[in-house]
Chains A and B, each alone.
Chain A
Amino acid sequence: MQRRNFLKAGAAAAALAALYGCTAGTKSSGHVVIVGGGYGGATAAKYLRMWSGGGVQVTLVERNPQFISCPISNLVIGGMKTMADITHDYDTLRGKWGVRVIQDEVLGVDSGKRSVRLAKGGELSYDRLVLSPGVDFLWDQLPGLNSADAQAKVLHAWKAGPQTVALRKQLEAMPDGGVYALSIPKAPYRCPPGPYERACLVADYFKHHKPKSKVVILDANEEVVSKKGLFTKAWEDLYKGILEYRNNSEVKDVDAATNTAILEFDKLKANVLNIVPPQRAGDIAANAGLKLINKRWVEIDWLSMESTNTPGVHVLGDAIFPAPTMPKSGHMANQHAKLAAAAILNLLAGDAPNPAPVVMNTCYSFVDAKNAIHVASVHQYDAATKLVQPVKGAGGVSAARNEIEAKIALGWAKNIWADMLG
């Protein structure tokens, strides 16, 4: 099978060279290994192949057989979309772009030897390594959830997949008059507006199917972290008497047996308890010897996304310590991937990375089945601070929730999925 993939890669390379290989700049070659096939890793894989005209070999290591999108997954939890709507395969990355996609897990990185160790055995050597592992959870901060049994009962559904389906089933099984409680950790965490969107969509489901039920948000933060005015307006207009928001309400522990969230001075027993745990860079990045900030997030060079202390290792997406006002989002991971791909191709060719990179973010949230809101920002590299800084006067949020942006949000999903996998 590996041989067949390599043959396919060869054929794809010829086609790619014809399409893209004639662009300006020095020809790059080498082998890039990418860990994680989500919004960051899959985008990096495609763009490295596309922009090098097939000159750079790319191996993508991903645990799961298919890509399942976190964005739009709250609509599955609300019952408006299905898993099929958010699940995509890696066939085009393999067949059209010649990426060698391996279903496996990377257990360790040897940055001195420039190789990674695979769970199924063997090693892969690389010229450049890209880690795009997303987040992992700090279970030790929630002792009562620090077991497989407890985690199977009290769900996070903060990585789209089986937990998305399981949370939907818990909501469907909940009797009318029940309570759904959702906890939010202190920022930064993956997808700042995501919990508020989820609360809206569960409230919308209750409104139409279980009208005596309640949604309670337990937010560890002082106030709504993202799109505050738009979310609070939606709660007042659409979910009065259904949705209750509690700020400064950090969940310190969980009693999984009784579905109880334990706060500093209070407890809340719910029919469906949904805990979004505190997070840090995904295990493989957190344990690879890379410099971390706050022991959680990888510090990177914004010209290349390369670790500041480990040459040859680039890190994308939620795992990094973000630049000012930059959210941990799938959209942003895709932008990191393109910045990294351009820099890696320059570096492999012996050239300096682009000294003036730009990244931007757009994030849509549904407040009910038909209305959405957005937040957007553009970030330009600033040589003085060596950070990509938000451009003043650019970006912003929707004027008001509206149906047009709900359609655009779904159009965004189709295009970004095509951009990374198509």
Chain B
Amino acid sequence: MQRSVAAAILGLAALSGAAHATDPNLARSLAATCANCHNTDGRAVPESGQEPLAGVDKAKLLQKLSEFRNGTKPATIMHQISKGYTEAQLDLIAGYFAARK
């Protein structure tokens, strides 16, 4: 699994580079699809029970998302949602949230 995450991250660098060339705000716009449940820029409303994403380490976020996708991390809904994004998109999303301080 570690290897697949590493491979995914490596694969992504190239892909996300291409995506960046297309729309410079792609990461921002993809991350905004998470805000309905995790609030704007991942700053979850305190005591709402939702997980804050802002400022979370990128590798940690990608690890979690990978575990949701392969079913090793129990979830009510994230196992279904995380499968809807490509690994390249998840990489951009995790990078965006990690950079929110």
User: A residues near B, CB below 8 A?
Assistant: 23-25, 46-47, 50-51, 331, 334-335, 338-339, 342, 346, 353-360, 362, 374, 376-380, 391, 393-396, 398, 402, 404-405, 407-408, 410-412, 414-416, 418-419, 422
Q: How far is the CA of A391 from the CA of B84 in the complex (A)?
A: 6
Contact A394 B45 (CB under 8 A): no
Interface with A: B5-13, B24-32, B59-67, which one?
A: B24-32
| A378: chain B residues within 8 A (beta carbon) | 81, 83-85
Given contacts A23-B28, A356-B22, contact A418 B80 (CB under 8 A): no
Extra pairs beyond A335-B36, A411-B48 (13, CB < 8 Å)? A23-B25, A23-B28, A338-B29, A358-B84, A378-B83, A378-B85, A407-B49, A408-B77, A412-B36, A412-B50, A415-B36, A416-B37, A418-B39
Q: How far is the CA of A407 from the CA of B77 in the complex (A)?
A: 13
Given contacts A47-B32, A354-B26, contact A412 B81 (CB under 8 A): no
Contact B37 A359 (CB under 8 A): no
Contact B32 A338 (CB under 8 A): yes
Interface size class of B (residues with CB under 8 A): 20 to 34
Contact A415 B38 (CB under 8 A): yes
Is chain B's binding surface mostly helix, strand, loop or mixed?
helix
Q: How far is the CA of A23 from the CA of B31 in the complex (A)?
A: 14
Given contacts A24-B24, A378-B81, contact A335 B33 (CB under 8 A): yes
Contact B44 A415 (CB under 8 A): yes
**Shortest CB–CB separation between residue A255 and chain B, in angstroms?**
42
| B48: chain A residues within 8 A (beta carbon) | 410-411, 414-415
Instruction: Give the interface centre of B44, B81, B82, B89 by most chain A CB atoms within 10 Å.
Output: B81
Contact B81 A395 (CB under 8 A): yes
**Shortest CB–CB separation between residue A222 and chain B, in angstroms?**
26
| A342: chain B residues within 8 A (beta carbon) | 25, 28-29, 32
Q: How far is the CA of A408 from the CA of B49 in the complex (A)?
A: 7
Report the 5 A-B pairs with minimum CB-CB distance, sorted nearest first. A378-B84, A394-B84, A24-B24, A394-B83, A411-B49
Contact B85 A358 (CB under 8 A): yes
Q: How far is the CA of A376 from the CA of B22 in the complex (A)?
A: 28
Q: How far is the CA of A330 from the CA of B77 in the complex (A)?
A: 18
Contact B84 A380 (CB under 8 A): yes
Q: How far is the CA of A360 from the CA of B25 in the complex (A)?
A: 18
Picked from B26, B33, B36, B45, the residue with its CB within 8 Å of the CB of A356 is B26
Q: How far is the CA of A394 from the CA of B38 in the complex (A)?
A: 19
Contact A362 B81 (CB under 8 A): yes
| A414: chain B residues within 8 A (beta carbon) | 45, 48, 50
**Shortest CB–CB separation between residue B35 and chain A, in angstroms?**
5
Q: How far is the CA of A24 from the CA of B99 in the complex (A)?
A: 14
A to B CB contacts below 8 Å, 12 in the list: A25-B24, A362-B77, A380-B84, A394-B82, A402-B76, A408-B77, A410-B49, A411-B37, A414-B48, A415-B38, A416-B37, A422-B45
Picked from B33, B38, B49, B80, the residue with its CB within 8 Å of the CB of A359 is B33
| A362: chain B residues within 8 A (beta carbon) | 36-37, 77, 81
| A410: chain B residues within 8 A (beta carbon) | 48-49
**Shortest CB–CB separation between residue B74 and chain A, in angstroms?**
11
Across the two chains, which residue of chain B brings its CB closest to A399? B76
Q: Does B19 sit within 8 A of A, measured CB to CB?
A: yes
Contact B33 A412 (CB under 8 A): no
**Shortest CB–CB separation between residue B7 and chain A, in angstroms?**
20
| A51: chain B residues within 8 A (beta carbon) | 25, 28
| A360: chain B residues within 8 A (beta carbon) | 33, 81, 84
| A398: chain B residues within 8 A (beta carbon) | 76-77
Contact B40 A50 (CB under 8 A): yes
Picked from B23, B28, B37, B76, the residue with its CB within 8 Å of the CB of A415 is B37
Q: How far is the CA of A410 from the CA of B49 in the complex (A)?
A: 9
Instruction: Give the interface centre of B26, B28, B32, B40 by most chain A CB atoms within 10 Å.
Output: B32
| B84: chain A residues within 8 A (beta carbon) | 358, 360, 377-380, 391, 394-395
Contact A411 B23 (CB under 8 A): no
| A334: chain B residues within 8 A (beta carbon) | 36
Picked from B22, B25, B38, B50, the residue with its CB within 8 Å of the CB of A24 is B25
Given contacts A354-B25, A411-B48, A418-B40, contact A393 B33 (CB under 8 A): no
Contact A415 B45 (CB under 8 A): yes
Across the two chains, which residue of chain B brings its CB closest to A407? B49
Q: How far is the CA of A24 from the CA of B29 in the complex (A)?
A: 12
| A379: chain B residues within 8 A (beta carbon) | 84
Instruction: Give the interface centre of B22, B33, B39, B49 by most chain A CB atoms within 10 Å.
Output: B33
